[in-house]
Amino acid sequence: MTDNHSHETPEVARPVSNFLRAAIDKDNQTGKYAGRVVTRFPPEPNGYLHYGHAKSIILNFGLAASYGGRCHLRFDDTNPLKENPEFEASIADSVRWLGYDWGEHRFHASDYFDDLYRFAEWFIEQGLAYVDGQTAEEMRASRGTLTEPGKESPDRHRSVEENLSLFRQMKAGDFPDGRYVLRLKIDMASPNLNLRDPGIYRIRHAEHHRTRDKWNVYPLYDYTHCISDAKERVTHSICTLEFQDHRPLYDWIINKLADGGMLPRPLPCQYEFARLNLTYVVLSKRFLIELVNGAYVDGWDDPRMPTLVGARRRGFTPAGFKLFAERAGVSKSDSWLDFSLLENAMRDDLNETACRRVAVIHPLKLIIDNYPQDKSEDCFAPNHPKKPELGTRAIPFSRELWIERDDFMETPVKGFFRMAIGQEVRLRYGFLVRCVGVDKDEHGNITAVHATYDPETKSGTEGASLRKVKGNIHWLSVAHAVPAEIRLYDRLFKVPFPGAKNPMGTLEETPVDAVSVELEEIEPKSDVGRSYLDDLNTDSKHIVRGFVEAEAANAQPEERFQFERLGYFVADIKDHQPKRPVFNRTVTLKDTWQA
């Protein structure tokens, strides 16, 4: 699906330098890759993409584009238990939505299963891999610690023949899951735990969504990833910091295979950057799955979800994500960014690109006593204050209007310049009106406000009186406004660090692993003692019945507007219809509400 309504900004014209660009520049100078720049975005198809992935996508595709290279989309589908085609389709859609195109370069780790298997046999033949029959528990125990070397497995010195025959039996499905693991034979005393005979193949009797029942063994991430990169002739393999200690293994595997003539040189090189950590959200697929399955939100594309499908439904823009990524920069040390940085980027983009419309979301009736009952006339409003070329549109004015409930105060507080009895305000793009009284029901609730208008004060009319008033409010004609469902969203979590020991803590106080970094096979740390679910903002969604002008009601799904004085809104991608308009609030305006 392509997005016709987004306004793409071109790739940054003068890119800010960073350590990745410096590395590429250096390779281009030395001619290491003959000027080729090939990156890749390697999602595991086990969930929907989130804001953090956007950073990685923009980085990988953006770098490639700015060097005239290319970026591959590669599904890292090595774990058949968690993966499915629905996730794959959504991932591809989100990458395209962000404005990127991988062309023919859409790959799967499973494309390489035959090679990966063949290479594994080669490692066995070289005496560089063995089949280990220890239990997972035993393997963990014998792995050692950061301060103690590991212990060699009793199986480490099995003969090549026996290893080959066992590995083939593993492949043939002769053993149950977990009975054996194929491990590289590197160094059980290495200070780097990743080099202590890492597992590269495990038994898994599971149907794979692409290779079906062909395999009973599946390669593990570290082994698969570097080989996939090398086979695709990737030059710069960019990943997040938690893989820094895996780099020696990455290099070990592909160098051995290249020495053996199994992979072409020059080989790819891995670079690590700091993952995106954002306050007020959780960016881990495991948590996102839990939010959806536990019905804490209305599905993956709930506008409050930090997924890219959620962002899209919320009205966030691809250009806003790029602006955010550009401002966040690329760094080599983990840090937290405040959620408001993302909101600001969206605001800044929408301020440029979204047309202005009028909506009243908490309606109160205003009756202009001296305006004829059956008359109406057009007032004219600019579609964009900074883009006169976008023209104006007519907004009908009549005797009965809707205004925002908050724009009237019966007993105005000091400094309240909007509608109050005796006070004159401007109806934006219309007339000056002076409030003369209110109607109340039997409970004393205000049901309507009365005012008189000055016909000599119509905005945009030659010779109109331009006397200044301090209040300037928006309105819609009751007879012309279209009823609309307005969905007001707030942050999904009420604290900056959901689930952390000190969820209100400052950015510095909270350790990065408060939101756990999930690696394959490694459970996220749960030593924080409380759940991020404890910090959910249960009041983050309000649906109200308001009104919009006809020009907004007629929007296409996904069309984005600034509703003047209220914020940025998007016509809901699923539910909006011109006859039954539905708008989601993307983000509020920074500071105009109380003006």
Q: Which residues are catalytic?
A: 44, 275, 285
Using CB under 6 A as the binding rule, whether residue 328 contacts ligand ATP is answered as no
Using CB under 6 A as the binding rule, whether residue 44 contacts ligand ATP is answered as yes
Q: Based on C-alpha coordinates, what's the Rg of the chain?
A: 30
Burial class (CB in 10 A: 0-12, 13-18, 19+), 30: exposed
Min separation Cβ 105 and ligand ATP, Å = 16
Task: Report the residue number, 5 or 21, with the smaller CB distance to ligand ATP.
Answer: 21
Q: What is the DSSP letter of 136?
A: H
With contacts defined by CB under 6 A, name the span among 280-288, 393-401, 472-480, 549-557 that binds ligand ATP.
Answer: 280-288
Q: Provide CB contacts within 8 A for 204, sequence distance 6+.
A: 80, 81, 177, 215, 216, 217, 218
Task: Report the residue number, 55 or 236, with the smaller CB distance to ligand ATP.
Answer: 55
* Closest C-alpha to 396, from 280, 496, 482, 311: 482
Side-chain half-sphere CA neighbours of 162 within 13 A: 10
Using CB under 6 A as the binding rule, whether residue 229 contacts ligand ATP is answered as no
Min separation Cβ 92 and ligand ATP, Å = 13
Min separation Cβ 89 and ligand ATP, Å = 15
Per-residue x/- marks for ligand ATP, 504-543, CB under 6 A?
--------------x-------------------------
Using CB under 6 A as the binding rule, whether residue 20 contacts ligand ATP is answered as no
Using CB under 6 A as the binding rule, whether residue 18 contacts ligand ATP is answered as no
Q: What is the DSSP letter of 408?
A: B
Burial class (CB in 10 A: 0-12, 13-18, 19+), 234: buried
Residues paired with residue 73 on neighbouring β-strands, in sequence order: 41, 106
* Amino acid letter, 594: Q
With contacts defined by CB under 6 A, name the span among 39-47, 202-210, 311-319, 434-442 that binds ligand ATP.
Answer: 39-47
Q: Which of 6, 24, 37, 55 binds ligand ATP (CB under 6 A)?
A: 55
Using CB under 6 A as the binding rule, whether residue 236 contacts ligand ATP is answered as no
* Closest C-alpha to 500, from 281, 342, 274, 303: 281
Q: Kindly determine how many residues on this chain lie close enough to bind ligand ATP according to the rule CB under 6 A.
A: 16
Q: Provide CB contacts within 8 A for 300, sequence distance 6+.
A: 48, 90, 288, 292, 307, 309, 310
With contacts defined by CB under 6 A, name the span among 1-9, 48-56, 298-306, 388-396 that binds ligand ATP.
Answer: 48-56
Task: Report the residue number, 121 or 245, with the smaller CB distance to ligand ATP.
Answer: 245
Structure tokens given for 47: 């969930």
Using CB under 6 A as the binding rule, whether residue 284 contacts ligand ATP is answered as yes
Task: Report the residue number, 83 or 349, with the smaller CB distance to ligand ATP.
Answer: 83
Using CB under 6 A as the binding rule, whether residue 291 contacts ligand ATP is answered as no
Min separation Cβ 69 and ligand ATP, Å = 17
Structure tokens given for 527: 């030593």
Annotate 225-289 with three-state secondary structure: HHHHHHHCCCCEEEEEHHHHHHHHHHHHHHHHHHHCCCCCCCCCEEEEECCCEECCCCCCHHHHH
Using CB under 6 A as the binding rule, whether residue 53 contacts ligand ATP is answered as yes
Task: Report the residue number, 271 or 429, with the smaller CB distance to ligand ATP.
Answer: 271
Min separation Cβ 464 and ligand ATP, Å = 54
With contacts defined by CB under 6 A, name the span among 123-131, 277-285, 449-457, 580-588 that binds ligand ATP.
Answer: 277-285
Task: Report the residue number, 337 or 394, with the smaller CB distance to ligand ATP.
Answer: 337
Structure tokens given for 230: 């090398």
Structure tokens given for 248: 């020696």
What CA–CA distance (Å, rounded) separates 462 from 521?
A: 73
Task: Report the residue number, 304 or 458, with the smaller CB distance to ligand ATP.
Answer: 304
Task: Report the residue number, 50 or 356, with the smaller CB distance to ligand ATP.
Answer: 50
Q: Which of 9, 39, 43, 132 binds ligand ATP (CB under 6 A)?
A: 43
Using CB under 6 A as the binding rule, whether residue 56 contacts ligand ATP is answered as yes
Using CB under 6 A as the binding rule, whether residue 239 contacts ligand ATP is answered as yes
Structure tokens given for 449: 């406000």
Min separation Cβ 415 and ligand ATP, Å = 43
Count of beta carbons in the 10 Å neighbourhood of residue 372 = 9
Using CB under 6 A as the binding rule, whether residue 281 contacts ligand ATP is answered as no
Per-residue x/- marks for ligand ATP, 407-436, CB under 6 A?
------------------------------
Min separation Cβ 307 and ligand ATP, Å = 10
Task: Report the residue number, 23 or 394, with the smaller CB distance to ligand ATP.
Answer: 23
User: Residue 226 phi/psi, 5° resolution?
Assistant: -70, -35
* Closest C-alpha to 506, from 292, 336, 264, 271: 336
Q: Which of 20, 38, 52, 119 binds ligand ATP (CB under 6 A)?
A: 52
CB 426 within 8 A of CB 432: yes
Using CB under 6 A as the binding rule, whether residue 42 contacts ligand ATP is answered as yes
CA angle 579, 581, 585 (to 5 degrees): 175
Task: Report the residue number, 52 or 268, with the smaller CB distance to ligand ATP.
Answer: 52
What CA–CA distance (Å, rounded) separates 436 from 14?
A: 58
Using CB under 6 A as the binding rule, whether residue 283 contacts ligand ATP is answered as yes
Q: Which of 18, 28, 216, 240 binds ligand ATP (CB under 6 A)?
A: 240
What CA–CA distance (Å, rounded) separates 183 from 355?
A: 59
Using CB under 6 A as the binding rule, whether residue 276 contacts ligand ATP is answered as yes
Min separation Cβ 59 and ligand ATP, Å = 8
Q: Provide CB contacts within 8 A for 458, sequence distance 6+.
A: 379, 430, 431, 464
Pairing label, strands 476-477, 400-404: antiparallel
Min separation Cβ 285 and ligand ATP, Å = 4
Which residue's Cβ has the minimum distance to ligand ATP? 52
Place of tokens 């006339």: 377
Task: Report the residue number, 239 or 346, with the smaller CB distance to ligand ATP.
Answer: 239
Contact set with ligand ATP (CB under 6 A): 42-44, 50, 52-53, 55-56, 239-240, 275-276, 283-285, 518
